[in-house]
Structure 1
């Protein structure tokens, strides 16, 4: 299940939310767990992919 990183625009609290692709497509209202503000912004997340091929 993908993990999405957010930052609250009210209190600058950074947090993560785990949503399935289906849940993310439905665009649920995400609120800051610290101050309960709906003014949150999704951060750009970096990821790595592991393969069996050697470089």
Structure 2
């Protein structure tokens, strides 16, 4: 299931919410888990890769020895 990243405009708390694509498309009201505000926006600070070889899923945050890809 996809995980979406959000940030609250009121308290600036960053959080993630797991939901299906159809749930996301329904424009469900999402509230900040800290201050309960609905004044949030989606952030795009992660990149997910599908398919490819095992090494293709390594990210720039992986150590130089690429140990996170094994």
- TM-score under structure 2 length normalisation: 0.68
SS in 1 for 2:34: coil
Alignment partner of 1:32 is 2:32: yes
Q: CA RMSD in A?
A: 2.1
SS in 2 for 1:36: coil
For CA contacts below 8 A with separation 6 or more, give which structure has more relative contact order: 1
More helix by share: 2
Runs of 4+ in 1 over 6 A off after TM superposition: none
Structure 1 runs not aligned, ≥5 long: none
Structure 2 runs not aligned, ≥5 long: 57-70
More strand by share: 1
User: Which of the two has higher C-alpha Rg?
Assistant: 2
Aligned residues: 55
